[in-house]
Amino acid sequence: MKVQNIDVLLVTVTEVEARAILNVFPNSQTHHIGDQTYRDLGTVKGARIFMVQSEMGPGGPAGSTLTIEEAIRLLNPSTVIMVGIAFGIAEGKQNMGEILVSTLLIPYDLQRVGTNSKSAYEILLRGDRPSVSHRLLQRFRAAANDWKIPPTVEFGSLLTGAKLIDNQDFRDQLLRLTPEAIGGEMEGSGLYAAAQRKKVDWIVVKAICDWADGNKSQDKKQRQQRAAENAARFTIAVLEQGGFETSRNPSRRGVLIGLSGLAGAGAVIVGGGLLYLKAVGIDQHPSTPTPSPTAPSTPATTLIVYKGHSASVTSVCWSPDGTRIASTGYDTTIQVCNAFQGGNLLTYTQNTKGLAVWSVAWSPNGHSIAAAGADQTAKVWNVTKGGNPIVYSGHHDQVTALAWSPTNSQLIASGSGDTTVQVWNALQGGNPLLTFTGHTDSITSVAWSPNGRYIAAGSVDKTVMVWDATIEGNPIIRYTHHSEEVKGIAWSPDSMRLASGSYDNTVQVWDVLSATLLLTYSRHTGHVNPVDWSPNGRYIASGSWDKTVHIWDATGGLHLFTYTGHSDHINSVKWSPGGNLLASGSVDNTARVWRPS
């Protein structure tokens, strides 16, 4: 199937903005192309309309600049319209909900700070003041003349910049520099940068939801909803006047949806079926060929969907022989299922207090399963002999993560909300053998290096620390490059590198001995929770709040595959011992086993 004649791209940022558009198009279809989600809104007066949603501001991997640039490359629209909410600058003259249409943009981030002829402090705005296209401005002015219902439509200059302005003094300072401005927003400069480069017509249509005066939170939900709906209604009214359909060579515009492999595209869910999208002939210039390492290249095969848990699945792991999966959840249980058939084989209960189980790990010899719980204990069950578990109670807060020694099936390292990592005897429990300190907030993840020499832990304190596994006390390495809490860590098979996933939406790969950052993977659009390194060392799998698992090259960071089988946040992902399958656990209450090729 080909999707052709994509004429207009609507760009939204917040959920309220996106919902305002989708309410007008209740039968829209979802396409996942590459790492981005697009909505096919259908046709209006013969013009094919798509919508994409960016993150707030122009910068960053998911900001308006790169989001729109990628959308233009893939869909080749003739028009891009940014629709949403803005701040007004003249309370009393303007009205809440009033629609603002840009005639030009005034970027305010680029400034010259100096002194004037009187030796006084002076700020001058610098950079382009781009004007919107004459064609679009004429279309919107004509529609405004026929717009007979409230609110009013005002045309003029819009301030644009990366700052979320909610301070009257700062706003008034900008207005002294740009008295002609009628309002302001955050993403327009990214729209201009992306569209101008590709010679695509663009315009910004936003409605007033606040006055940037320190009262943004007052009736915020109602004001933003009203403003977003006003901007959306007027934009649709403009489209309904027609004149946006363009006649182009389909060979340059098509988006082929088919089983086409990973080159230039990613997995897509359309109507519940797994498809692929491959951009064909979208640019006049051929794109750089995608490297073709031995990696997943066809749609994922989901082998099992395990639904034994009644609440979020928090952790999954494989048995060493690759035939079983252990999973834990908020439902206080540890469950073992057949990795290929999905049937429940065993169920253990961590506690009777209704508290979550956070982590599960299978011993290297395959005889035991250990689990960490919010009840401040870790427990070990013998899966071959059964019986009561060994209980470890050395921590003074919930136990959040654990890992077996890869070289000694009697040793476990566990991390806790008490900020410590403790090593203890899995056969006896008892007191800790070693205690590692240094973190200043809860431990979120623990990993023992494959050579058995080191223990690493990630923390809410935004750091990863590495200890010599035989010497308790402070760490030998502190890694501090993340800007938000670290949620997942994984060692490379050679024990030389660590991958760390964070709520800053990145995975960072770094050299352990020098704590030097080697690579940053930033293609997720939500917090990164788990990471896992493939047994052959070539690939990394990372799961995110964006409901996907990404597989990517561990050396160069090249994105190879996106798994979209889950319907909610990903809490856990693990490669099978053979490296050909993955297991993942999610807030959608399921554990899934899947093959990426």
**What are the DSSP calls for 378-418, one per residue?**
EEEEETTT--SPEEE---SS-EEEEEE-SS-TTEEEEEETT
What's the domain range around 136?
7-251
**Does a structural domain hold residue 76?**
yes
C-beta of residue 443 within 8 angstroms of C-beta of residue 453: no
Query: In this structure, what token pair is assigned to residue 70?
Result: 């990628």
In terms of domains, do 246 and 309 share one? no
pTM score of the predicted model = 0.53
**Does a structural domain hold residue 187?**
yes
In this structure, how many other beta carbons lie within 10 angstroms of the beta carbon of residue 428?
Answer: 12
Of the candidates 182, 217, 251, which is a domain's last residue?
251
In terms of domains, do 230 and 339 share one? no
In terms of domains, do 210 and 308 share one? no
Distances (CA, A) of 19 to 15, 26, 228, 542: 6, 10, 9, 29
C-beta of residue 125 within 8 angstroms of C-beta of residue 111: yes
Helix axes 64-75, 188-197, angle to 10 degrees: 30
**Does a structural domain hold residue 372?**
yes
Kind of pairing between the strands at 99-107 and 153-160: parallel
Nearest to 551 by CA among 584, 578, 518: 584
* 107: CB partners within 8 A, 6+ apart: 125, 127, 128, 129, 160, 161, 189
- The values of phi and psi at residue 593, to 5°, are -115, 130
Of the candidates 209, 230, 251, which is a domain's last residue?
251
Alpha carbon 471 to chain centroid, angstroms: 37
Report the C-alpha gap between 266 and 32 in whole angstroms.
7
In terms of domains, do 220 and 362 share one? no
In terms of domains, do 475 and 580 share one? yes
**Does a structural domain hold residue 82?**
yes
Helix axes 220-240, 134-145, angle to 10 degrees: 100
In terms of domains, do 313 and 238 share one? no
**Does a structural domain hold residue 276?**
no
In terms of domains, do 414 and 496 share one? yes
Cβ burial of 596 (10 Å; 0-12, 13-18, 19+) is: buried
In terms of domains, do 228 and 371 share one? no
**Does a structural domain hold residue 416?**
yes
In terms of domains, do 311 and 403 share one? yes
Of the candidates 251, 286, 321, which is a domain's last residue?
251
CATH number at residue 390: 2.130.10.10
Question: How many distinct structural domains can be found in the chain?
Answer: 2
In terms of domains, do 578 and 432 share one? yes
One digit per residue, the tens of pLDDT, for the chain of length 597 reads 344 568 999 999 999 999 899 887 777 889 888 778 999 998 888 899 999 999 988 888 888 889 999 899 888 899 999 999 999 988 888 999 999 999 988 887 776 666 666 666 556 666 667 888 888 988 999 999 988 777 899 999 888 888 888 888 888 877 777 788 899 998 988 898 888 878 899 999 999 999 988 888 888 888 899 899 999 989 999 998 888 987 543 333 333 333 233 233 333 322 222 333 333 222 223 332 333 333 333 457 899 999 999 999 999 999 999 999 999 999 999 999 999 988 899 999 887 678 899 999 999 999 999 999 999 999 999 987 767 899 999 999 999 999 999 999 899 999 999 999 999 999 999 999 999 999 999 999 999 999 999 999 999 999 999 999 999 888 999 999 999 999 999 999 999 999 999 999 999 999 998 899 999 999 999 999 999 999 999 999 999 999 999 999 998 899 999 999 999 999 999 999 999 999 999 999 999 999 986
CATH number at residue 94: 3.40.50.1580
**Does a structural domain hold residue 532?**
yes
In terms of domains, do 41 and 179 share one? yes
C-beta of residue 463 within 8 angstroms of C-beta of residue 479: yes
In terms of domains, do 585 and 439 share one? yes
**Does a structural domain hold residue 168?**
yes
C-beta of residue 7 within 8 angstroms of C-beta of residue 244: yes
